[in-house]
Structure 1
Amino acid sequence: MYELNDTYKAHLDAIADAIQESPTLAQYLEEEEDEYYEALKAEFEPQIEAAHEQINHYSPFEIESFERYLLDDRFEGLFLPRVLGYSVLRPQINEHYHYTRQNDHFGEVLTYIAGNMNFDQLRSRIGQAVQVGFALSSDIYVTGLVDGIPTKRVRQFLLQQKSDDARTAAGRKQIYDRYKRQFMSRNYQYAPFPLEAAELISHTDHMVDFLLYRVSNAELNNDALPAPLYQFATNSDFAGRKELIEPIIIYGAFLTPEGETRDDIVAVLNRERKENPERVEAQVMSFLLRLKNDPKVTFGPDQELALGQIVDRSIEDDLTAYFNLTDRLHNEGFTEPDVQEAIQAEVLKHEGLSDFNENVRKSVLVYFDRLAASLGTDDYNEWFSVTGKQFPVYMKIFANEQFNQELRRLAIRYTKRLIKVHTNKRGKDYRDIKKTTVSTWTDYNFMTDKQLKEFFKTPRKRKKTES
């Protein structure tokens, strides 16, 4: 999205100069032995990789410009096999395991590698990346790309990377997943932001996935995200488009706009809420559920409170009602009777299985989840005290079987931790745990008497058979 800044250009130029002045390169050029190229790779690729990691950490929108800067003969093809791998994995793919848009960055990098004087040294490291890139691209694109390579033996090598497995979606998925696993610990993700209205449909989903990856990774610096997000949200050409809403939610929840910036974002959301009230409300509630249900996304009370800061409460709609309610829940506490009364009053206004009510249930459930995770195995009295009062209250308020099953899951998980530690069946701890659990779980319909008996039954150890 952005051109490479001068600081990184200067840094890469310094690496390029060092490569060209290296005695190892001189030996390689003179003797043309692979061992000298391997030595060159060992010396300089870590430096390029460190710079690549740094720019993707702090300035992800410059990453493709950085990679294009490496398409220079001064770098002797170093690090380009890794760049090629990143280029095939970044773009969005559809359910058929094809790129949703033509992957020109992959084509540009591969074309340069194909014409590089060190191709014979690079070819052993690019085969799988080429196979994936070809599998996910259209046949027309692959044919045009290969036909554009002037050297016959290079074209033959590339054509050999086309896999018969790529003929089916299942085969393409297998090829893609197998290759992607190699990069699980790498930060290479990037997605371009829509700059024109025509790009909203093709770019927004990919942008949303990229933003969620960034904001959910606590180790990454996201100072570069607000500026392009602000430009996106306030682009007058995008007014009234449904693609605006999800990025704005991410902006408000995770990046916390302030001052005049926040006022502008509030104004944009107000405009959308007034012009398309039903659609915007439905979009917000649906996307909130996605965030809460995705284990890879960090979305909890803090993010919900932050998001509420860009929701103007002077507009009387479900969004105002929802964030007024969750503000009270998160600020006053889920055990407060007044909060519980407010929740009950609000959920009765909506269909039981509505996204509105499901979001409220998820927002409450997180507190039970945190309680179970925070307590040690000696703190079971606190668990019984809190859940003994609050489980029945919320089970009555929501009257929702799925919510009850989530409480059951938490209770089973915590109780299993208890009985793994408190194993003495004659001891007070075990007897108290069992007595309270049997009594309450029966009342909650978590388990039948038979299931409870089986739950507390000690598995018999198999006797060793004599040989």
Structure 2
Amino acid sequence: MYELNDTYKAHLDSIAEAIQASPTLAQYLEEEEDEHYEALKAEFEPQLEAAHEQINHYSPFEIESFERYLLDDRFEGLFLPRVLGYSVLRPQINAQFFYSRQNDHFGEILSYIAGNVNFDQLRSRIGQAVQVGFALSSDIYVTGLIDEIPTKRVRQFLLSQKADNARTTEGRKQIFLRYQRQFRSRNYQYAPFPLAENELISHTDHLVNFLLYRISQEGLNNDALPGPLYDMATNEDYTGRKEIVEPILIYGAYLSPEGEALEAIKNVLSRERKAHSDRVEQQVMTFLLRLKNDPTITFGQLEELNLGELIDRTIDDDLTAYFNLTDKIHNEGYTEPEVQEAIQEEVLKQQGLSEFNENIRQTILAYFDTYAASLGTDDYNDWFAHTGKQFPIYMKIFANEQFNQELRRLAIRYTKRLIKVHTNKRGKDYRDIKKTTVATWTDYDFMTDKQLKEFFKTPRKRKKSA
């Protein structure tokens, strides 16, 4: 965990001082009415929320330190129900919908709330969060947490939050997803950064997911990410550890290291390739496919070229062959005959269903996808000319049924756009579209005559009942 920097500490201290000097707080302490605490909440929680959003935007690895700083009586428990909610949603969850590791951050915040003098005002806002945290934690952990609470009525409240349906995986899943939906518009994600070798196994998968979340969200400032990633990659204690490979790939593809940093990261990856060739090749190819197949993540020409900057081409392995080929595709163009010959040559060296070949297929599919998305409904002649030449070439090069089905999906999607606009069956546009589509799709084996007839069939409109 990264410590909270002094700037944010000073900002939080100023809010705490304002809370303690507030006439609203004085009135609440004197009269102990809920309405005065609500007024205090309305006055200061927006300030705490704004500070929380700011640190999550600019310094995400300090977020838990920020939240622990709020466990101070000067803040009167304000904003802690929201923080408790974030704490139960962030950790990594396994297939059985239990936390992969003990959620001590949740336990620490809940214990503080349970002992806070304003617990009666806070309890109405924490029930669901407690239920989720308990459902995803082990019974032993929950029992130990409750037993440490000194006040009987607080223990009874917490015991009442243990849900009966949390006994099954499906029940825990429902509890978690129902609560998570309430925070869809919130930026609360966080993963602990492995700061020691013994944390690599427990932290890295969660870290990778967090990094992918950060780079996939528009508008987030990721200037705080390169420093820790550089330190992780160049840490000599991590030499030979498979856990450093995926963070390095994210660093290279999305955060664009330059100069000495680029050379250092490149040297680390070269060291790992030489020492563990087969394993690193497999890791890189598998991770590339993950990036290309995840619709929430952008991975295209720029990211693949960036990643190629990390690859030492003097090493004779499949990674050199792969990135030499993708450099050629991206720089010269996938429609060039020389590029297509190079693709065919490399593809034939690999097993047909290898991840090497699948990655090349995905790279080419991305170009076809981008081309289809760039065309308007009046550009169908360009589409037919382009795909009429390129589809047969690549179907022959790859000889892969799944690739052909992806081309079919693209063709259907674009053609549906066309016939939604060009609806006059007697018009030249419609007749040209249908004629060319029927001829080419039959050649490509995209559809049978019967399927094509059904595809172009106009659905009958139901007659309105009298």
TM-score, scaled to structure 2: 0.99
Q: Which amino acid aligns with 2:387?
A: T
Deviations 1:95-133 (A, max 9, x none): 111111111111110011001111111101100100111
Distance 1:62 1:292 in 2: 30
Deviations 1:359-390 (A, max 9, x none): 00000000110011111111111111111111
1:7 matches 2:7: yes
Where structure 1 has 5 or more consecutive residues not aligned to the other structure, the ranges are none
- Identify the residue that residue 108 of structure 1 maps to in structure 2: 108
Q: Secondary structure at the match of 2:349?
A: coil
Residues 53-72 of structure 1 mapped to structure 2, 5 A cutoff: 53-72=53-72
Distance 1:121 1:298 in 2: 44
- Identify the residue that residue 319 of structure 2 maps to in structure 1: 319
Q: Shift in Å at residue 409 of structure 1?
A: 0.4
- Identify the residue that residue 268 of structure 1 maps to in structure 2: 268
Q: Shift in Å at residue 192 of structure 1?
A: 1.2
1:193 matches 2:189: no
Deviations 1:54-89 (A, max 9, x none): 000000011011101111111111100000001111
Q: Shift in Å at residue 4 of structure 1?
A: 1.0
Deviations 1:264-299 (A, max 9, x none): 111111111111111110111011101111111111
Distance 1:120 1:132 in 2: 20
- Identify the residue that residue 129 of structure 2 maps to in structure 1: 129
1:165 matches 2:201: no
Where structure 2 has 5 or more consecutive residues not aligned to the other structure, the ranges are none
- Identify the residue that residue 48 of structure 2 maps to in structure 1: 48
Q: Give the stretch that moved more between structures: 113-122 or 31-40.
A: 31-40
Do 2:61 and 2:193's aligned partners in 1 also have CA atoms closer than 8 Å?
no
Distance 2:243 2:93 in 1: 18
- Identify the residue that residue 180 of structure 1 maps to in structure 2: 180
Q: Shift in Å at residue 39 of structure 1?
A: 1.4
1:452 matches 2:452: yes
- Identify the residue that residue 392 of structure 1 maps to in structure 2: 392
Q: Shift in Å at residue 6 of structure 1?
A: 1.3
Q: Shift in Å at residue 218 of structure 1?
A: 2.3
1:28 matches 2:28: yes
- Identify the residue that residue 333 of structure 2 maps to in structure 1: 333
Q: Give the stretch that moved more between structures: 311-320 or 21-30.
A: 21-30
Q: Which amino acid aligns with 1:200?
A: L
- Identify the residue that residue 378 of structure 1 maps to in structure 2: 378
Q: Calculate the aligned-residue CA RMSD, in Å.
A: 0.9
Q: Which amino acid aligns with 2:205?
A: D
Residues 221-260 of structure 1 mapped to structure 2, 5 A cutoff: 221-260=221-260
Deviations 1:185-243 (A, max 9, x none): 11111111212222111111001101111111121110000111111111111111111
TM-score, scaled to structure 1: 0.99
The 4+ residue runs of structure 1 with deviation greater than 4 A are none
1:410 matches 2:406: no
Q: Which amino acid aligns with 1:163?
A: A
Q: Secondary structure at the match of 2:230?
A: helix
Identical residues among aligned pairs (%)? 80
- Identify the residue that residue 367 of structure 1 maps to in structure 2: 367
- Identify the residue that residue 152 of structure 1 maps to in structure 2: 152
Residues 73-84 of structure 1 mapped to structure 2, 5 A cutoff: 73-84=73-84
Distance 2:379 2:33 in 1: 67
Distance 2:378 2:223 in 1: 42
